[in-house]
Chain A
Amino acid sequence: QVQLVQSGAEVKKPGASVKVSCKASGYHYSGYYIHWVRQAPGQGLEWVGWVTPKGETDYSQKFQGRVTLTRDTSITTAYLALTGLTFDDTAMYYCASPSSSWSDAFDVWGQGTMVTVSS
C-alpha cells in the first residue's frame, strides 16, 4: 500500500525557516514525482512545487526564491524548506504523488503538516 507520512506540526516566528519531511513507502518503482500543496486557513488548495526522482525541481512563481524542495532517495524521503516566513505562510502543507503509471493525478497524499507562523 502506497503511503506518504509527513513530519509533525511546526510553530515558527516571522522571518524564520521551516523544513517539513514526507516519507514514502509502498511504491513499486522509484520514478514518482513528489508534489507539495498548501492550504491556508479559509483558502483553497495551492500548488507549491514538485521534485522529480532525479531531484529536479519546479516551483510556483509565487514561492520562487523562498522554497527549496529536495529528496533523499536512499531513505525515500522528500523535504520542503521555506524561508522568510510571514503570517501568510500559516497553512497546512501536504505532500502528494501519483502512484499509478497511467495518470499524473495526485492519488496519494500525506496527512498534512500544520505550519503556524506566530510572534
Chain B
Amino acid sequence: DIQLTQSPSSLSASIGDRVTITCQTSQAITNHLNWYQHKPGKAPKLLIYDVSNLEPGVPSRFSGSGSGTNFTFAINTLQPEDIATYYCQQLDDLPTFGQGTRLDIK
C-alpha cells in the first residue's frame, strides 16, 4: 500500500490567513492525488482532483500543487466556513487517505 503522511495533523489559523497542508507519499505517484474537506455530520467533499484541478463549484481560494512524493494543498484567505478536517488521497494504487489535518480558527 502507498502510505500518505499529512502535515500538520492540526492547525489553528485566523480568518484571512493563507493555510497550507502537505501530503507526502511513501513512493512516487503520478497525478492521482486528491484533496477532500470533511465537516462533522456531513459526507466528505471533493475539492481538488488530480493534484491541482479545482472541482466545479469549489471556491478559487482552494488550490493544490506538487509532484512525485510531495504535494501541497492551500487555502488563500481563510473563511469561517473552511473549518473542517482535510484529507489527501492517492489513487495510483488501491486508494489510501492521509491521516487528516484538523483546521480550526485561532
Contacts and interface: CB of A to CB of B under 8 A. Distances in A.
Interface centre among A105, A109, A112 (most CB of B within 10 A): A105
B91 A45 contact: no
A104 B32 CA distance: 8
Interface string B44-60: 11100110010100000
A103 interface: yes
A46 B1 contact: no
A39 B44 CA distance: 11
B71 to A, nearest CB: 14
Contacts of A37: 44, 97
Contacts of B87: 44-45
B46 A106 contact: yes
Nearest to A62: B1
Contacts of A61: 1
A112 B46 contact: no
B46 A107 contact: yes
B44 A109 contact: yes
Interface in A20-63: 35, 37, 39, 44-47, 50, 58, 60-61
Nearest to A109: B43
B55 A107 contact: yes
A111 interface: yes
Contacts of A14: none
A105 B34 contact: yes
Contact of B44 (A50, A60, A104, A106): A106
Nearest to B48: A105
Interface in B65-104: 85, 87, 89, 91, 94-100
Interface of B: 1, 32, 34, 36, 38, 43-46, 49-50, 53, 55, 85, 87, 89, 91, 94-100
Interface of A: 35, 37, 39, 44-47, 50, 58, 60-61, 94, 96, 103-107, 109-112
